[in-house]
Amino acid sequence: MSDALDPTPYDALLLLSFGGPEGPDDVVPFLENVTRGRGIPKERLKEVGQHYFLFGGVSPINDQNRALLDVLRKDFAEHGLDLPVYWGNRNWAPYLTDTLREMVTDGHRRILTLATSAYASYSGCRQYRENLADSLATLRAEGLEPPRVDKLRHYFNHPGFVRPMIDGVLTSLADLPDDVREGAHLAFTTHSIPHSAADTSGRVEDHGDGGAYVKEHLDVARLIADAVREETGVEHPWQLVYQSRSGAPHIPWLEPDICDHLEERHAAGAPAVVMVPIGFVSDHMEVLYDLDTEAEAKAAELGLEVRRSATVGADPRFAAAIRELVLERAATENGRTVTPCALGALGASHDLCPVGCCPARAPKPAAAGVDSPYA
Ligand SMILES: CC1=C(CCC(=O)O)c2cc3nc(cc4[nH]c(cc5[nH]c(cc1n2)c(C)c5CCC(=O)O)c(CCC(=O)O)c4C)C(CCC(=O)O)=C3C
Ligand SMILES: [Fe+2]
């Protein structure tokens, strides 16, 4: 026998992501998939379409996911973890339903899912679970026996997610001109969501006042700010801010927006700001457009020095973290007691979303939770 790592009961890993257009002709159908039935103003869709056209109609997210698949497969092979890795998306090819069908056809019955969203929220968690339930229902309607699908816990506070971001901030600080480095502020940024979605994010006991979504982001921001202070000996002022807002103007979403924040920091005398996109796992369009294009232009207009620190992307430490999370969950499923790995004040997130976690406005079946209609 070798000392191969044992992922049983799991027989495959599914990388589940958002999806994005791969060329100009894909942009409008992609946006229709994303916004089906969600009342996003037409003006906003036209604007978001333009962001994609600026980049040739290609979202960076697909190549990011391909890079992550490569590094995961390499890490698993190097560590003797025999677990095939598949990839499916919510909004564009390869579509989740097609990937799940392929997995079933290949004989997989116990699937563990890695979603490319690290935090609790309807958009980042339950919506993916609803997509899984929809796809399983489709397979059942086709006469296939649905596999059992579980989902890895939220990994926002896993060292393999946090440490690469700490290094990213240190690199961005080092890249600033000497005369502004010490006074630089840190703007930790994530996707804005409606107050109503934030306040009901996470478990019922986390609801209210920004919910688990805000608590989790604040915990990661504090961890990074503390580590940066320890490393540099400088206390950089920091704040959690938001970006990529959509929805009707009269509905409250999390604020301040990164661009307003840059203006406000500049007016308050900050010489430089490092934008730290802790809400994003890789360089999505939100990062390349909303930060690197729009926020950078705002900073240039203000004459404010800004840098944008790296997302985790395909960092080998992130791949190693996923391997550890897979083995941790496999051990738990096998009835072994494990100490889950997590930094910060909140502790490891739950394995199985409880009833009432990140509720939808209109209840729909969701897989991979306590209330899953699938075993
Ligand atoms: C919390 C969160 C994440 C992080 C978790 C995760 O990663 O899953 C995320 C990720 C992403 N969101 C993305 C794209 C879009 N999100 C939209 C709309 C919305 N997102 C929301 C929230 C989130 N979104 C919300 C509350 C809306 C409003 C309406 C709705 O509830 O649907 C729209 C519609 C137009 C617009 O309003 O912008 C688009 C095009 C892409 C792909 C980017 C690329 O191509 O690189 C990614 C990774
Ligand atoms: Fe989004």
- Ligand 2 centre and the CA of 120: distance in Å? 14
Taking the CA of residue 21 as reference, the ligand 1 atom at the shortest distance is 45
Within a domain: 373? no
Are 251 and 287 in a shared domain? yes
Within a domain: 295? yes
Mean predicted confidence (pLDDT) in 143-157: 98
Query: Could you list the residue range(s) of the whole structural domain that residue 287 is in?
Result: 159-308
Q: What confidence score (pLDDT) does residue 375 get?
A: 67
Mean predicted confidence (pLDDT) in 247-275: 96
Q: What confidence score (pLDDT) does residue 1 get?
A: 40
Within a domain: 41? yes
Q: What confidence score (pLDDT) does residue 36 get?
A: 87
Taking the CA of residue 193 as reference, the ligand 1 atom at the shortest distance is 26
Strand order in the sheet with 85-89: 85-89, 12-17, 110-115, 148-151
Are 179 and 233 in a shared domain? yes
- Binding residue positions: 59, 128, 191, 286
Q: What confidence score (pLDDT) does residue 45 get?
A: 86
- Note the pLDDT tens digit of each residue in 349-359: 999 999 999 99
Question: Domain ends where: 275, 308, 341?
Answer: 308
Are 318 and 247 in a shared domain? no
- Binding residue positions for Fe-coproporphyrin III: 59, 128
Task: Flag whether pLDDT at 43 surpasses 90.
Answer: no
Whether 64 and 313 have beta carbons less than 8 Å apart is answered as yes
Residue of the CA atom closest to atom 33 of ligand 1: 34
Mean predicted confidence (pLDDT) in 300-308: 98
Q: Is any ligand 1 atom within 6 A of the Cβ of residue 34?
A: yes
Residue of the CA atom closest to atom 39 of ligand 1: 34
Question: What secondary structure, in 3-state letters, does 68-127 show?
Answer: HHHHHHHHHHHCCECCCEEEEECCCCCEHHHHHHHHHHCCCCEEEEEECCCCCCHHHHHH
Name the percent of the chain lying above pLDDT 70: 99
Q: Is any ligand 1 atom within 6 A of the Cβ of residue 157?
A: no
Mean pLDDT score across all residues of the chain:
96
Question: Domain ends where: 308, 343, 368?
Answer: 308
Tokens of 308: 């944008």
Domain containing residue 202: CATH number: 3.40.50.1400
User: How far apart are the C-alpha atoms of 285 and 288, rounded to whole Å?
Assistant: 5
- Binding residue positions for Fe(2+): 191, 286
User: How far apart are the C-alpha atoms of 87 and 99, rounded to whole Å?
Assistant: 7
- Ligand 1 centre and the CA of 235: distance in Å? 33
Q: Is any ligand 1 atom within 6 A of the Cβ of residue 287?
A: no
User: How far apart are the C-alpha atoms of 120 and 211, rounded to whole Å?
Assistant: 9
Within a domain: 351? no
Within a domain: 83? yes
Q: What confidence score (pLDDT) does residue 44 get?
A: 85
Q: Is any ligand 1 atom within 6 A of the Cβ of residue 60?
A: yes
- pTM (2 decimals)? 0.96
User: How far apart are the C-alpha atoms of 233 and 235, rounded to whole Å?
Assistant: 7
Among 57, 61, 102, smallest CA distance to 84 is for 102
Q: Which residue type, as a one-letter code, is found at position 120? A: A
